Structure 1
């Protein structure tokens, strides 16, 4: 999908400050038709209330396959690397989505995630211990991304000796997700990742352990369980989603503090503000600029536009989270903000499964950095930081700091 020249959602330059363009859209063209080179009509929704509608209204669906004729639908019968994306939780609507989510949700309740607090703190401290003597680091490469990836691999029960390989595959695939040309180059990594996960699931069945994968192999109270193909896709999703969004939450949050020293000083003086600070970081620069794809299930007249059945509808979460009709002084970073119904984790049935984990990891990582490295500052001027291209992820490539 290519955007018109005045709204190039995928460019690093646009990503550095998309908010002025989003503000104009909310005022002048809140349901905006993007230009496309492939014939797929695509709409961008930018107002808070409209974004909320798409996220909640069942006229907008995730299962594009249901819009195709039986002959047009893909009917894969054997496991392949394509399963990693086609069988992901975000590709389904109820009742399929409800079934998958019900099976995995018990592992991500706030109470269950709280049991991991001490272990997340240990991992965070261990990462910082290895950096203290250096006096500088790439905050993303050295902490923000390794932390959530290490945690989710441990929760799942992945063999510790495979972590280096899993880190490598995950980073290569995530870096390529928003770039069609780059994505074509990671086919071998996807095949290898799929083969690894498939073999791991079989080993867990033969040698059960006290971990999430082993438990997901067992039927629930109603006798239902994930198929092996569904389980492999679920493991892949949990790894990818946690790595991307939580890493960007920590990175964007620290960047916000480093460029707003009065807010940083306030949080250092009153560490109890960390919970409201995390919510403000999620709102101020959402890790996902756009939500996952939705498709119009039927023709819809909306805001003076006719959205036709089969049109692609994109929600600009980052735009909605700066909507002046919903947030007071939306372009101001305020870690004491209490009225903060941001949409960074989506809403409705597709509300982020891992939100409690992301929040806890963000709270621990940022609190620990401020406590242990209180003199941290940017090594590069903020305006020189390079933002990741692509329309989905909102974050910089690198965040060099000194301390």
Structure 2
């Protein structure tokens, strides 16, 4: 590992799923400064590095606010946002940077409206995103300052919503309770910016990654244009094929256990690789090829077990609306610059291009 020593790497789908669901593997213990890890030091907190039952308690409270009904009711609004962004791109004319003009603002506007966080305040919380996804791009002191600034912003917003409650996810999170239990202010802040980061940065990166890949597989792009009903299938295949994270979340064994016939001793670190599992030839036929007609696709792009992404359905709706509308509106969509001119993100945990110039 880059810092702190060695870890076991788990790569088969069955073993990765088992590891992700095993309560004996602790993310809390992994956060200790002396554990093998990918980052210089653990700083950012949140539900992603919690263990059951505390993690279960918070997830249950959030689920009361982040309901399937709320997501489905928001679907028409997603399409409106997509159409407005594409209208602006069409009026501007190519070439345009698809990341800056579409892939970033779509999930940004969507998650902010869905949660009830003012998108116009993005200058106060977006700088934190660079810190939370940093491996080496930001110093520990810069990350700490970003965390402090973000806490200050959300503390102000909590007070505003308590004084002026609305019919949005953020107000629902403030009110969320279960048998008298409720989110503390610290938990509310960490949960809110966790949902915000997951809802913006990840989807924004993946949308341009998907287009970059489709440009390199013109047969698949042509098939999608001819059969737009394949969009849901295509999104699942792209989620499987394109690794979002440059690293996977490690965990520490609380006690001796066995994974895939290998003995893991108590105190040892395990890295379940969702990226590797999504290419497991025992599960996926021709795993190193993209096939948007693939139907059996039990990928782990949204993780598994206690840490399965609570916003997975919202992300799917955004990606489907985006891809469906892009292909329909701009059938001649293509990359506008040669590969050597593309710049890739560096020093961060998320993979992706910094800009994707396109024309049509």
After TM superposition, is the score higher than 0.5? yes
State whether residues 149 and 242 of structure 1, in contact with CA within 8 Å, keep that contact through their aligned partners in structure 2: yes
Once the two structures are superposed, the pairs formed by residues 2-401 of structure 1 within 5 Å of their partners are: 2=2, 36=3, 38=4, 40-64=5-29, 85-86=44-45, 88-132=46-90, 133-167=92-126, 169-174=127-132, 177-179=134-136, 181-182=138-139, 184-220=141-177, 222-300=179-257, 302=259, 307-382=264-339, 385-390=342-347, 392-401=349-358
Contact 2:235/2:319, CA 8 A, preserved across alignment: yes
After superposition, what is the alpha-carbon deviation per residue over 1:178-237, rounded to whole angstroms, capped at 9, x for unaligned? 226455434433322210111111221122222222222224352221011100000110
In structure 1, C-alpha distance between the alignment counterparts of 2:51 and 2:285, rounded to whole Å: 34
Contact 1:63 1:92 in 2 (8 A): yes
TM-score by length of structure 2 reads 0.89
| Residues 203, 319 of structure 2: 8 Å contact kept | yes
Q: TM-score, normalised by structure 1?
A: 0.80
The 10-residue stretch of structure 1 (148-157 or 359-368) with the greater mean CA deviation from structure 2:
148-157
Q: 1:315, 1:268 → 2: CA distance?
A: 36
Deviations 1:141-173 (A, max 9, x none): 221122112111112212343234434x24433
Which string of whole-angstrom CA distances, capped at 9 and with x for unpartnered residues, describes residues 105-126 of structure 1?
1343433211111111111122
Task: Provide the C-alpha distance between the structure 2 equivalents of 1:281 and 1:401, rounded to a whole number of angstroms.
Answer: 19
Q: Tell me if structure 1 keeps the 8 A contact 2:30–2:269.
A: no
Structure 1 consecutive aligned stretches of length 4 or more whose deviation exceeds 6 Å: 65-68
Cα distance, 1:293 vs structure 2: 2.6
Unaligned runs of 5+ in 1: 3-35, 73-81
> Aligned residue for 1:25?
none
Mapped partners of 2:32, 2:125: distance in 1: 36
| Residue pair 1:138, 1:400 contacting (<8 A) in 2 also | yes
Unpaired segments of 5 or more residues in structure 2? 35-40
Contact 2:335/2:358 (<8 A) preserved: yes
Matches of 2:177 and 2:52 in 1, distance apart?
Answer: 19
Tell me how large the CA RMSD over aligned residues is. Answer: 2.7
Conservation of the 8 A alpha-carbon contact between 1:280 and 1:333: yes
Aligned residues: 353
Higher mean C-alpha displacement, 128-137 vs 377-386: 377-386
| Equivalence for 1:13 | none
Shift of 1:338: 0.3
